[in-house]
Every structure is written in C-alpha cells, then in structure tokens.
Amino acid sequence: MKYFVTKEWEGPGPVVDFIFHVNGEKVKYYLYIDYMEQIEYLFYDINKKYFIAAESEYMTSDLVKMLKVLYTKQFKSEEPIMREWRYILKEILSKDSNAVLKFEGV
C-alpha cells in the first residue's frame, strides 16, 4: 500500500499537501489526514510551532534532521509509512541538496 500519492486527491476526506521545491520545480505528494497522525511527531520535533491545519516550511537542514531521526530513532521508524517517508526524503535530497518542503495542512 502506498501512503503518499502523487496525483491530486480524489477524496473522500481531507489531505495534507507536501510540496518539495527541487531544482526550481515543484514535486508534490499528498497524504490522507488520518495517516499524517502517524508521522506528525517528526514535524513537531523539527518545528515546535507545527500545527496540522497550518502551512509551514522546512529547509534542507530540517529535512536532513528528519531523515537522521528516521535512521536513529527506533520507535515507529520501521512502520511502512515511515519507510515510505524516508525513501521520499532520500530521493528528494539526492536530486537537490538545497531542497525545501512547503507543508500545507488541511
């Protein structure tokens, strides 16, 4: 099962948008809100003002920190959604070492 999708969400239910700025282009992923609850501690760990219904931006250093947490913390890091998020982060950072993530909550 893929948690993150690259096509516009067709419903039902609210989604979270992940918009990566990679080499001057936008790479978008969408995640159903119920799944976001499984990974939101990663975002809160980096940004203490994180709120699921808001927009926030994560710089390259934040994405690298998040990736390090995924590799070093044992809790929850082996769940399928975490492996998928880790793969996405690695792929994005391998394409652009200055990638930025714009998180758009519900």
CATH number at residue 73: 3.40.1760.20
Tell me the per-residue pLDDT of 58-93, one tens digit each, with 9 for 90 and over: 999 999 998 888 888 765 656 888 889 999 999 999
Domain that holds residue 59: 4-104
pLDDT (tens digit per residue) in 4-33:
888 776 666 678 889 999 999 999 998 888
Q: Report how many domains make up the chain.
A: 1
Residue 12: predicted pLDDT:
66
DSSP 42-104: HHHHH-TT--TTSEEEE-HHHHHHHHHHHHH--SSTTSHHHHHHHHHHHHHHHH-TT-EEEEE
